[in-house]
Structure 1
Amino acid sequence: MKPYTFARPRPNGRPPLSRGPGLVILVLGLTALCASRVDLAGSEWHTAARTQPPDPTPVLEAPEPETVLTAPAEPKIIELTGIIGRGEVFSEALKRQGIEHEAVFELVSSLRKGIHRAEFNPNIVQRGDRFSLGVDTAGVIQSFEFVKRGALATRFVANRLEGRLEARKEEADLDRQVVVVSAGIEGTIWNAIRGAGENPDLLSSRLIEIFEYDIDFMVDCRPADAFSVAIEKFYKDGEFVRYGDVLAAEYRAARESYHAYLFETPAGDRGYHDAEGRSLRGFFLKSPLNYRRISSGYSNRRFHPVLKKYLAHHGIDYAADYGTPVWATADGVIVSSGRKGPLGLYVEVQHKNGYKTGYGHLSRISRTARKGVRVRQKQIVGYVGATGRATGPHLHYNFYSKVGGKYRLSNPSRVVNRPTGKTIPPALLDQFFAHRNHLDALLDQESGSIVTALLDPFPTPGLDYPTE
């Protein structure tokens, strides 16, 4: 626990009063006056004091206010989730989330101390393993959870107790159900999920992650939209424990519908694909952070809140809490990292195909985001702040396109997002289409339907699929 801090009054700079005999007489006189008025109510005393003419006699200075004892504020915890990528080691996956070297070392040390190496070795992780972190605004890990792919009943966790991370293994004999969740949009995707009786904090993050290349759920949702998901849910003695994989998802907008089907090839390539077998992974993410609202959009004429005049605003301002993680929207190389005039602390990333992105007004820059360093998509490069010319915490996001050999600011919402993930090999398309059709049948079930039995005779993705 951090020590309490004491709020001390500022010295007023006045010279000390003389301590001669006159002061003693004055104190005695005031004491007698207070004693003669002790029978009056407090309100009457203050009223009388206000109505009397000012006393020309010098008065004593007011005593210094009592020392105030203030408890330290609870640190804000930022929740981060990640999946081990192809060929990625544990430390790289953590650093991609913005975790710095010292925190990674502390976590790995606690895991090695608290969990037998034969059960969990941080040096041996596989693509598709999932982890989550609770990190405070100082970058200190407060909690950690790791679940191996295909072994959801076992969790490896670490929690900070009395200043130290304590790691342990947790096992549970869990019952699996596959449930269909469907709802119409009611303001936000969060409200819609809550209205369907599910946990909006957990399930909304899954949907946002699946469709993060095509849909910005903060601005693209409309009241007429709807969604359906088929998701695994795990129970212990009838009590819900956690969600598993989203097996399929559909988002129906007014002009277009988006589909996602989880599929794994025999070679171990696992990911979400559209109805034609194309990977959902795009070149750019739709947004560089989890934000509350867009405070200023891309515009040729915006009233500047600081300069008090109309200027072009060729970027997007995302209002978010101070310290919210900011990530690179695509793979690239950092070409600038540091202060940049009115943009304050700023990071700029150069991408392939003539694109650059910039991230301004950061409160701090990740230690891994140095000039010349290669970053991966969704790797944290900094944290929301209000450095530079800013009236409050937000991220200023710039997007550059190369035109005629020069980089020019562009509207990121109008960029065509090309798919970059792996398409299903032609030899496996028949299996994928059979898998897709089966999952579509599940999504047609009523919301709340338990469809586990419908999946039981159906093979696991990546194995032999019926084609009829």
Structure 2
Amino acid sequence: MNKQFTLIFIITGILSLIVTNSCQPKKQVEEEVDSEWVDSLQHVYEYGVCIDSMDVNRYEIRQGDNPAIIFSRLGFSALKADSITRASAHVLDPTKLKAGMHFCTLTTLDSMATIRYIAFAKSLTDYAVIDLTGDTIRAYEYTKDITLKRKYIEGTITSSLWNVIRDGGASPLLALKIADVYAWQIDFFDVKEGDSFQVIYHEAFIDDTIALEITSIDAAIFTHQGKAFTAIPFTQDSVFEYFDPEGNSLRKAFLKAPLDFFRITSRFSNARFHPILKRYRAHHGVDYAAPVGTPVKTIGAGTVIAKGYMNGGGHTVKIKHNSMYTTSYMHLSRYAKGLAVGSHVQQGEVIGYVGSTGLSTGPHLDFRVYKNGEAINPLAMDAPPSLPVKPELRDSFMLIKDRYLAELDSLHQQYTDTILEIKHIADSIQIHKPSNGKK
């Protein structure tokens, strides 16, 4: 890892601590301390079991394994293995055990190494635990605690948002969350070098160390082609949305594009040379190149008015959104399960998958928009925003907006100061480095 990335990781770690410490209340010292709480800090637990005096052995399920085979391999007699299998059947489904899944045993530390517990991982958080400590075998489900950490990251685009976030030490999946927030304002396959972002977000962890997922974005500023797009979270009428500083919703009637990741290969035109027909003709849509099987989403809520194979368009879905707008999705490889003419679909719902059916030279989506029955350029369409913050809620919104903007500004300043300090240290080291290269 080069020096630049090392410095970025250090900065990210420092700022993660800054955000966490600045946003969580300090625990006050009590005159009387809960003795059980103090005692619990002196012990180590796993799967809800105190393992201070136990040895934890971890294994991987092999091809063809079932509970009885696994228990026999652990040294149990056929009769005991059968008893354990029967006692744990309500929490451990043999049909769901797959090769590569993990399980562990908790054994005594003496020379006998007696197995006291067996824990099977059903997911990253869920386990089936078998208790062998008593006269009766007991089995139960255990779910690991998930902790949320509040973090901050910022960066400037040099290649892609995904790469910049990854190189900054954060989960690149954060890029998808950011794209969701700004789906109505920014085409993230059109971000330019020099675009920048600031994001405060929450990430879920298991065991306080294993990253699980990005759960939410608290606030963000994305500067695209010189224009700053600010996202402030606010809930009204029990609906959570992001708003700009003026209180206008970032959510519009239509998504910016029907695919998450794509490349535009052909734009709206009245005279495009058709690669198969070998002649010029109108192409009243936008072609998005993407791998076969890429999910295709409806850009807005509506009703399916057509579904089927339509000559040159191949497998096609048409959706009527309202009395004015209709959209068409062509060259699909297949349709979403359960989709039928008359189905009502929600904005962002998957309706099919990219293919190359009909008159197509390769996998892509031919996407078209019709306004009052006339084809219009999807890339030039400006859909109206949803409802802004209500007048009676504006004071509450302004308080939240001011708090988040102040926090983003403060974290940006700390980030900048940290970079300057690290640069100063790096320059000092360089200055004192012997010119002949000797230590």
Q: Normalising by structure 1, report the TM-score.
A: 0.56
Provide Cα deviations, 1:70-110, integer angstroms capped at 9, x if missing partner: xxxxxxxxxxxxxxxxxxxxxxxxxxxxxxxxxxxxxxxxx
Which letter does structure 2 place at the counterpart of 1:172?
D
Cα deviation, 1:50-86, whole Å, max 9, x if unaligned, reads xxxxxxxxxxxxxxxxxxxxxxxxxxxxxxxxxxxxx
- 2:308 aligns with 338
Whole-Å Cα distance in 2 between the matches of residues 328 and 244 of structure 1? Answer: 24
**Is 1:178 matched up with 2:147?**
no
Q: Could you tell me which of 386, 389, 395 is aligned with 2:365?
A: 395
- Assess if the C-alpha contact under 8 Å between 1:179 and 1:449 holds in 2: no
1:288 is the counterpart of 2:253: no
Verify: 1:198 aligned to 2:164, yes or no. Answer: no
What is aligned with 1:432? 397
Cα 1:379–1:234 shift into 2, 3 Å: closer
1:262 is the counterpart of 2:228: no
Matches within 5 A, 1:97-136: none
Deviation (angstroms), 1:369: 2.4
Bigger Cα Rg: 1
1:265-276 superposed matches below 5 A: 265=236, 268-276=238-246
Q: Structure 1: which 5+ residue stretches go unaligned?
A: 1-112, 116-153, 159-167, 451-468
- Whether the 8 Å CA contact 1:180–1:231 is kept in 2: the answer is yes
Whole-Å Cα distance in 2 between the matches of residues 288 and 336 of structure 1?
17
Distance in 1 of aligned mates of 2:342 and 2:202: 42
Alignment partner of 1:229 is 2:195: no
CA–CA separation in structure 2 for the residues paired with 1:256 and 1:373: 39
Higher RCO (C-alpha 8 Å, min separation 6): 1
Q: Secondary structure at the match of 2:388?
A: coil
Residue of structure 2 in register with 1:329 after alignment? 299
Decide whether the 8 Å contact of 2:325 with 2:371 is kept in 1.
yes
Instruction: State the identity %.
Output: 33
CA change 1:426–1:215 in 2 (3 A) is same
Give how far 1:283 is off.
0.5
Question: 1:378 is matched with which residue?
Answer: 348
**Cα separation, 2, equivalents of 1:361 and 1:114:** 45
Residues 216/157 of structure 1: CA separation in 2 closer, same or farther (3 Å cut): farther
Please name the residue that 2:380 is paired with: 414
Do the aligned residues in 1 keep the contact of 2:296 with 2:353 (CA within 8 Å)?
yes
1:12-161 maps to which residues of 2 (within 5 A)?
A: none
Give the 3 Å change call, closer, same or farther, for CA 339–239 of structure 1 in structure 2: closer
Q: Indicate the larger mover: 392-401 or 370-379.
A: 370-379
Structure number with the higher helix fraction is 2
TM-score scaled to structure 2, two decimals?
A: 0.60
CA drift of 1:254 comes to: 2.9
The one-letter amino acid of 1:418's match is: P
Take 1:179 and 1:449, find their aligned partners in 2: how far apart are those partners? Answer: 13
Flag the 1:308–1:416 CA change in 2: closer, same or farther, 3 A.
same
Distance in 2 between the 1:429 and 1:216 partners?
Answer: 29
Aligned to 1:93: none
Bigger drift between 313-322 and 287-296 goes to: 287-296
Q: 1:363 corresponds to which residue? A: 333
Separation in structure 1 between the aligned mates of residue 317 and residue 280 of structure 2, nearest angstrom: 26
- Structure 2: runs of 5 or more not aligned: 1-89, 93-122, 128-140, 416-439
CA–CA distance in structure 2, aligned partners of residues 157 and 314 of structure 1? 50
Distance change >3 Å, CA 386–CA 239, structure 1 → 2: closer
In structure 1, distance between residues paired with 2:230 and 2:159? 21
Counterpart of 2:395 in 1: which secondary structure? helix
Using the TM superposition, give the Cα deviation of residue 277 of structure 1 relative to its aligned residue in structure 2, in angstroms. 2.0
Task: Give yes or no for contact 1:363–1:386 (8 Å, CA) kept in 2.
Answer: yes
Partners of 1:324 and 1:173 lie apart in 2 by: 31
Amino acid at match of 2:184: Y
Flag the 1:157–1:418 CA change in 2: closer, same or farther, 3 A: farther
RMSD across aligned C-alpha pairs, in angstroms? 2.7
**One-letter code of the match for 2:144?**
E
| C-alpha distance in 1 between matches for 2:211 and 2:333 | 38
1:149 matched to which residue of 2?
Answer: none
Contact 1:180 1:442 in 2 (8 A): no
CA contact (8 A) 2:202 2:214 kept: yes
Stretches of 4+ aligned residues off by more than 4 angstroms: 154-158, 446-450
Query: Alpha-carbon deviations, 1:11-67, whole Å to 9, x = none?
Result: xxxxxxxxxxxxxxxxxxxxxxxxxxxxxxxxxxxxxxxxxxxxxxxxxxxxxxxxx
- What CA distance in whole angstroms lies between the structure 2 residues aligned with 1:241 and 1:352? 39
Residue 224 of structure 1: how far off its partner (Å) = 2.3
CA distance in 2, matches of 1:351, 1:259: 28
SS in 1 for 2:303: strand
